[in-house]
Chains A and B, each alone.
Chain A
Amino acid sequence: MLERRLAVPGGPAGNPGRGLRAPALWVWKNLLSPWYNAVLTAVALAVLGAVVPRVWRWAVDAEWSVIPANLTLLLAGTYPREEIWRLWAAVASLAGLAGLSGGTYRGSARKWMTAAFLCAAAAALVPAAAPSRMWLLTLGGLLAGGFSLGRRVAAAFGPAWRRILGAMWMASAAWVYVLLHGIAGSAVFPPVPTSSWGGLTMTLVLTAVGIIASFPLGVLLALGRRSALPAIRWACTAYIETVRGVPLISILFMAQVLLPIFLPDYRLEHVVRAMIGITLFSAAYMAENVRGGLQGVPKGQVEAAQALGLSNARILWLIVLPQALRAVLPSVVGQFISLLKDTSLVAIVGLLELLGIARSILANPAWLGLQAEVYLFVALIYFIFSFSMSSASRRLERALGLGER
């Protein structure tokens, strides 16, 4: 079989592929040979021929006007319309930082400039209001500017700059929080209660908080489960197994319903309860992922470190964790992606994240019955974010040389 395939270009006389030109050869090799592939191709074409025209006809007739009319709602929920610039400013800050990091870590210039160009193109083409166009243009500028600045600064300062960049990322979390939530009594950033957050903004905030909080917690739990102290080991194991034994939705319900009963004097925001639930749930799975990596680190590594006289903490920090986390990076990112999608479950406990907003739009008498259009758009947004996360992780894997050693 393999020999025949290899033999096709200029193969022996009597080979049916002989004398075909490149595209035809490709079709022959991939679609028509051997005979059962030809049958499969015919069946696939028939199915496509039956389905595609119908989908196309539906897509043309569908009432897509529901999307532009509710775009702000889907992206920002009930965030006060006069404060929306703060959401843009948060995105812009992160875009600038991302550009800087791209430049510092020698990303491909072509890709970053393409991203910047796409933002500018969107600014020109998207039928949005003037401020949105200006912001999109700013985003493009920040991506491109950050990239070239990052390149130059990295070349000039080296490792010290990378540490500064890391600190800037950490500071950005606080900065984004101030932008989104505001400061009591401030004129520039009047407080916006979390009950006004919604749509994609809330989805992303829940995801970001879930990732940032569950990662360290998961690492601690994984270490605890491998601890030599029985009490810690049992507690961590019990926690992990309990949480993994219940579905996320029941944890979310418990967080929404039981927390206020346990803490009657202290009113926890709904969003915060959801954050707690998601973090606690995700941490248990994270712990098991990390534990897999910990087990994969050869014992000899630890023994060698001990022989060199390193303390236990330093062995963990310098020898074990870097290797363990590197090994489990793909599954950790996989879990982050499912975390992003799991946030849609908070719609069931009444929060207005992307899916909750979609439900609300469908209850508007003006847009009744447009489920397909609205849900397809929501699915597209989820896909864009999940896909960017997984492609970013693939690039990170390549950069770390995973799978090559």
Chain B
Amino acid sequence: MALMATQALAQARTLDTVLERGRLVCGVNNGLPGFGYLDSDGRWTGFDIDYCRALAAAVLGDPEAVEFVPLTAAERFIALQTGEIDVLIRNATWTLTRDTDLGLNFAPTTFFDGQGFMVRKDLGVVDIEDLAGASICVTSGTTTELNLADTMRARGLPFTPVVFEEIDTVYRAYEQGRCDAVTSDKSQLAGRRAVMADPDAHVILDATISKEPLGPVVRHGDDQWFDIVSWVVYATFFAEEKGITSANVESFETADPEIERFLGRTGGMGAMLGLTDDWAVKVIKAVGNYGEIFDRNLGPLGLPRGLNRQWTDGGLLYAMPFR
């Protein structure tokens, strides 16, 4: 049934639907610190939310032309399959099953999450190797627990797991000093650290031991729309790489032909996507480059850039050439 609906919808081009409607319908999370929530003025805010706005700016020229549809983890893919939303930007992990069996396409990953460690700063731990012999708090019965065991065994490091059922208990035990370190997804570690009595006394290690690539998702069968979403993401990567920000994008002086093409001054790249030539300028003007989006939303949580650095800095952000 779901598949039939998907196929029927694939006939209509999402871009036309969005243009005709005059606004983008974006599936989001309404309760994930830093990624998606309502601020006190009732305005949608967060890392994922900014990508919805970026897409609306590229397609419609107006970052505010977005209708946000808060979705639960259970509903999110069905909402996309049935055409209820145009794009899903709701911390969805890219996996093979979802990419194929669910009939979805994953745009470039905007946030490489993954399991990490948080330790007390005064222990002077900088790397996983330093955790030899440590006691580590972890939630029981999760992949988190298995990942921990695998990682430590692979490196031949002895450790004592301190296991709890409840997430809250895990962090309370860690804060009370019942274990030297705590392990979970890094975005969660950062969120929890922000509410600890003394956030500065704890540090999240750079090392990541599991893969949780999160990014925008679209339906199978609409390649043009998939291209647009993908290149909007690349635009934010590219702008950071070249030092283009929301403040200087409109007056950016350059002799670099690739940047000229990016800014739509030459090359006619926008038309190839079905957009206006200055689409990338609109994106950067609306939400800024990747670094700006990251600092604005995840900076307050004290989340380190980690894997989410530019490839030139040893990270995984790699914009394909604007050529």
Seen from chain A, the residues whose Cβ lies within 8 Å of a Cβ on chain B are 69-70, 72-73, 76-79, 81, 193, 195, 198, 253, 256-257, 260-262, 264, 267, 270, 348-352, 356-357, 359-366, 368-369
Contacts and interface: CB of A to CB of B under 8 A. Distances in A.
Most chain B CB inside 10 Å of its own CB: which residue of A77, A256, A267, A356: A256
B187 to A, nearest CB: 12
B194 A368 contact: yes
A314 B169 CA distance: 64
30 contacts: A70-B40, A73-B38, A76-B42, A78-B38, A78-B43, A79-B42, A81-B42, A195-B69, A256-B75, A257-B78, A260-B5, A261-B2, A262-B1, A264-B8, A264-B9, A267-B84, A350-B70, A356-B31, A359-B30, A361-B38, A362-B31, A363-B30, A363-B32, A363-B33, A363-B37, A364-B40, A365-B33, A365-B300, A365-B301, A366-B40
Contacts of B2: 261
Contacts of B195: 368-369
Contact of B72 (A77, A267, A349, A357): A349
Given A195-B67, A195-B68, A349-B72, A261 B1 contact: yes
Nearest to A261: B1
Nearest to B41: A81
Given A81-B41, A195-B68, A260 B74 contact: no
Contact of B42 (A77, A256, A260, A369): A77
Given A360-B38, A365-B301, A366-B39, 7 more contacts: A73-B42, A78-B42, A350-B72, A359-B30, A360-B37, A363-B31, A364-B33
Contacts of A73: 38, 40-42
B105 interface: no
Given A267-B84, A349-B75, A352-B70, A69 B301 contact: no
A257 B75 contact: yes
Given A195-B67, A195-B69, A365-B34, A72 B45 contact: no
B59 to A, nearest CB: 19
Contacts of A359: 30-31
Contacts of A77: 38, 42
Interface in B69-87: 69-72, 74-75, 78-79, 82-84
B6 to A, nearest CB: 9
B36 interface: yes
A356 B68 CA distance: 14
Interface string B5-21: 10011000000000000
B240 to A, nearest CB: 22
Interface of B: 1-2, 5, 8-9, 30-34, 36-45, 67-72, 74-75, 78-79, 82-84, 191, 194-195, 300-301
Closest 4 CB pairs of A and B: A369-B195, A363-B37, A359-B31, A264-B5
A260 B79 contact: yes
A364 B38 contact: yes
Contacts of A264: 5, 8-9, 82-83
Contacts of A369: 194-195
Contacts of A198: 42
Contacts of B9: 264
Contacts of A79: 42
Contact of A78 (B33, B36, B44, B78): B44
Nearest to B90: A350
Given A264-B8, A360-B30, A348 B72 contact: yes
Contacts of A70: 40
A369 B196 CA distance: 9
Given A270-B69, A362-B31, A368-B191, A257 B41 contact: no
A247 to B, nearest CB: 15
Contacts of A366: 39-40, 300
Contacts of A81: 41-42
Given A195-B69, A257-B74, A351-B70, A364 B30 contact: no
Most chain B CB inside 10 Å of its own CB: which residue of A198, A260, A270: A260
Contacts of B70: 350-352, 356
A76 B43 CA distance: 12
Contacts of B31: 356, 359-360, 362-363
A122 B32 CA distance: 35
A364 B2 CA distance: 34
A132 to B, nearest CB: 15
Contacts of A260: 5, 78-79, 82, 84
A357 B301 CA distance: 20
Contacts of B33: 363-365, 368
A261 B1 CA distance: 7
Contacts of B78: 257, 260-261
A356 B31 CA distance: 8
Nearest to B71: A350
Given A260-B78, A261-B1, A364 B39 contact: yes
Nearest to A259: B82
Contacts of B39: 364, 366
B311 to A, nearest CB: 28
Most chain B CB inside 10 Å of its own CB: which residue of A77, A193, A257, A350: A350
B169 to A, nearest CB: 15
A352 B83 CA distance: 21
Nearest to A70: B40
A79 B41 CA distance: 10
Contact of B30 (A69, A262, A267, A350): A350
Nearest to B29: A363
A32 B9 CA distance: 76
Contacts of A365: 33-34, 191, 194, 300-301
A368 B33 CA distance: 8
A379 to B, nearest CB: 18
A78 B69 CA distance: 12
Contacts of A368: 33, 191, 194-195
Given A260-B78, A270-B69, A350-B70, A363 B36 contact: yes
B254 to A, nearest CB: 35
Nearest to A358: B31
Contacts of B45: 364
Nearest to B78: A257
A230 B84 CA distance: 41
A138 B126 CA distance: 63
A369 B33 CA distance: 11
A351 B31 CA distance: 11
Contacts of A361: 37-38, 40
B196 to A, nearest CB: 8
A193 B67 contact: yes
